[in-house]
Chain A
């Protein structure tokens, strides 16, 4: 069961002007703990004020804006582009309690599971 699944970015960006900047889909890792789902996304070049994380209506959307250099480099192996990626959240998650941190170009999003979905320890009585 993959509770966080990727969704196709919403159509419509294509309908904007042809000069709309390109966006890249960041690479992510997703793992599960007893209490939460954790998503790690590589967003090099994004500062915290350029980051936007929304978790509502069953969707988690990550957007990152980068500062591009004013002049192109003399030798170029990569191009900084804005990032965008969306994930579907299932009902067993509690998106209202989502936390997000950004460190060294890596975004970490933690979405807790709903309390009723968390494992409960059942005490066993011996008679």
Chain B
């Protein structure tokens, strides 16, 4: 039985790749995480009084934060801005995603924009959404 360890170029490649990943996670990454995918992440609770949406978006520039309600959908816009006046080469580590974001969430039931309440506390945007007043049930006459 041959017990000698044979040289496996793929294993060597994997080792190099691991080392590279280690290098890039331990040393300050030179690039910035982009805001990608569905941002911000949301949690939704449906209650009898209305719908609560909580979006996790710390450090958003308050002037850029914008919430609109149209029909059954809510759109959240905002921007996480970089520190003013700090040159790129001054950074040792940059892990926080920055940039502008837009997210629209549909609820499948009409919302009352006038009764929507929004607050932004500790980096969580909290929306209290009210359902539009239901229309009175109509009796449909079946034609014979």
Q: Which residues of A are at the interface with B, using a C-beta cutoff of 8 A?
A: 2-4, 6, 27-33, 37-38, 40, 42-47, 69, 71, 73-78, 103-106
Contact = CB atoms under 8 A, between A and B. Distances in A.
B83 to A, nearest CB: 7
B123 A30 contact: no
A103 B123 CA distance: 8
Given A32-B90, A44-B56, A104 B120 contact: yes
Contacts, number: 99
Contacts of A45: 56, 122-124
A6 B46 CA distance: 41
For the complex of A and B, the 4 pairs showing the least CB-CB separation, nearest first, are: A105-B123, A105-B58, A44-B123, A106-B59
B96 A44 contact: no
Given A29-B96, A78-B56, 7 more contacts: A2-B28, A28-B93, A30-B28, A44-B124, A73-B54, A77-B42, A78-B41
Contact of B44 (A38, A40, A71, A74): A74
B45 interface: yes
Given A45-B123, A46-B122, A73-B44, A30 B91 contact: yes
B45 A74 contact: yes
10 contacts: A27-B33, A27-B97, A28-B93, A31-B83, A43-B123, A44-B57, A74-B44, A75-B44, A75-B45, A104-B59
Contacts of B124: 44-45, 105
A31 B44 contact: no
B143 interface: no
Contacts of B96: 27-29, 40, 42
B136 interface: no
A3 B91 CA distance: 11
Given A31-B83, A31-B86, A73-B43, A44 B91 contact: no
B62 interface: yes
